[in-house]
């Protein structure tokens, strides 16, 4: 059995040596290979602004159905608890 006679710290080191990525390769502090032309950080694509849409009848129906269901459940719980 592999690692049976290893101390806990040795086990951690052996597992860490098998990782594909280093801690510096992931997360907010990760180094990016692509820099922006201005040199002020990683090159990120420009996001299109979100524009509001108009609600559809189906979406409004589901909202009303959800509200009615929750009101029914609250009323049911209150009648059972209240006596």
Provide block-wise average pLDDT over 10 residues at a time, the chain (83 residues). 58 63 66 52 74 92 98 95 80
The number of angstroms, rounded, from the C-alpha of 27 to the middle of its chain's C-alpha atoms is 13
**DSSP state at residue 7:** -
Q: Tell me, yes or no, whether 13 lies in a domain.
A: no
Q: How far apart are CA 36 and CA 42, in angstroms?
A: 5
pLDDT of residue 71: 97
Q: Tell me, yes or no, whether 78 lies in a domain.
A: yes
pLDDT of residue 47: 85
Max CA distance (Å), the chain: 70
pLDDT of residue 76: 95
Q: Tell me, yes or no, whether 18 lies in a domain.
A: no
DSSP letters spanning 20-78 = SS-GGGSSTT---S-B-TTSSSB--PPPPPP---PPPHHHHHHHHHHHHHHHHHHHHHH
Q: Tell me, yes or no, whether 66 lies in a domain.
A: yes
Q: Tell me, yes or no, whether 25 lies in a domain.
A: no
Query: Could you list the residue range(s) of the whole structural domain that residue 61 is in?
Result: 57-83
pLDDT of residue 65: 98
The dihedral over CA atoms of 6, 12, 17, 18, expressed in degrees to the nearest 10, equals 90
- The total number of structural domains in the chain stands at 1
Q: Tell me, yes or no, whether 62 lies in a domain.
A: yes
């Amino acid at each position: 059995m592999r690692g049976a006679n290893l101390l806990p710290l040795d086990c951690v080191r052996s597992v860490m040596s098998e990782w594909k990525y280093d801690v510096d390769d992931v997360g907010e502090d990760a180094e990016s290979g692509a820099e922006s032309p201005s040199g002020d950080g990683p090159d990120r694509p420009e996001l299109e602004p979100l524009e509001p849409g108009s609600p559809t009848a189906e979406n409004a129906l589901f909202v009303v159905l959800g509200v009615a269901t929750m009101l029914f459940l609250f009323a049911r719980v209150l009648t059972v608890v209240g006596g």
